[in-house]
Amino acid sequence: MVSSFESIPARERIIVALDCGIDEAFDLADQLQGKATWLKVGMTLFYANGPAIVYALKERGFKVFLDLKFHDIPHQVEGASASATGNGADMLTMHAVGGVDMMRAAQKGAVRAAAEYGFDVPATLAITVLTSMDEENLEEIGVNRTVADQVAVLAELTKEAGISGVVASPKEAAELREILGPEAYIVTPGVRPAGAERGDQSRVATPAEAFAAGASHIVIGRPITQADDPAAAFERIAAEL
């Protein structure tokens, strides 16, 4: 199935993960300004610095993927989603295993806060199976499905909840595109340029493979952020796509 995101330039579909401290984050942002569109703020950076890091990156002209993976009762997740939207997040995440009611609450909070602050409604994304996990890890937590089957089950719940899309390995992107349709966001971490180290990721693909499989956006961290010249590394990846 053709994705509606294919008309968007590749460089605008690459999300650079700032999994680091604030000084390094600002240094990377300054180097990537005018090149990258998206930056990811995860738990490490956000919990150390709070909403101020989102404001600062937005002021530099970036879109911010706020990856805090909400997972709580629906009331709490609705509030968290509203707060994240009010902070200026352009994407936010929750765990699909929280269920349909929780995901609907996240969407409700995002829509409410966007109207209140005059912002666009952020993309609301459900985490299916973390890209660091495999079948053995699933079995440890009592899930007796293959990774692909578990991802498909959670994707169906995501669709029922009416949120924007999912976060999943590029290995599952093609099936997810069939399940969720051409308009859904399918954001894939676990993306490594050819020859790069896997790090702590179990299910990986190259950027080109991820887009070919149907990903709307790809998340790349260390191959860019730990390069001698992060801006040049970003440009090389964008050019290859």
Answer for the pair 199, 222: CB distance below 8 angstroms, yes or no: yes
* CATH number of the domain within which 153 lies: 3.20.20.70
- Taking the whole predicted model, whether its pTM rises above 0.95 is answered as no
pLDDT at position 3 is 87
Domain that holds residue 121: 4-240
Distance, CA of 146 to CA of 150 (rounded, Å): 6
Residues pairing with 94 in the sheet: 70, 126
Name the percent of the chain lying above pLDDT 70: 95
Domain count of the fold of the chain: 1
Spot the catalytic one: 58, 69, 159, 171: 69
pLDDT for residue 196 is more than 60: no
Q: Answer yes or no: are the C-beta atoms of 179 and 119 closer than 8 Å.
A: no
Of 161 and 133, more confident: 161
pLDDT score, position 2: 78
> What tens digit of pLDDT does each residue of 16-30 get?
999 999 999 999 999
132 falls in which pLDDT band (50, 70, 90)?
A: confident
Residues 31-57 have pLDDT tens digits of 999 999 999 999 999 999 999 999 999
Contact 114, 86 (CB under 8 A): no
Average pLDDT, the chain: 93
Is 35 a known active-site residue?
no
Report pLDDT for 197.
Answer: 56
Query: Average pLDDT for residues 158-170, to the nearest whole number?
Result: 96
Write down the pLDDT at residue 201. Answer: 45
Taking residues 217-226, what's their average pLDDT? 95
Per-residue pLDDT tens digits for 66-116: 999 999 999 999 999 999 999 999 999 999 999 999 999 999 999 999 999
Confidence at residue 45, expressed as pLDDT on a 0 to 100 scale: 96
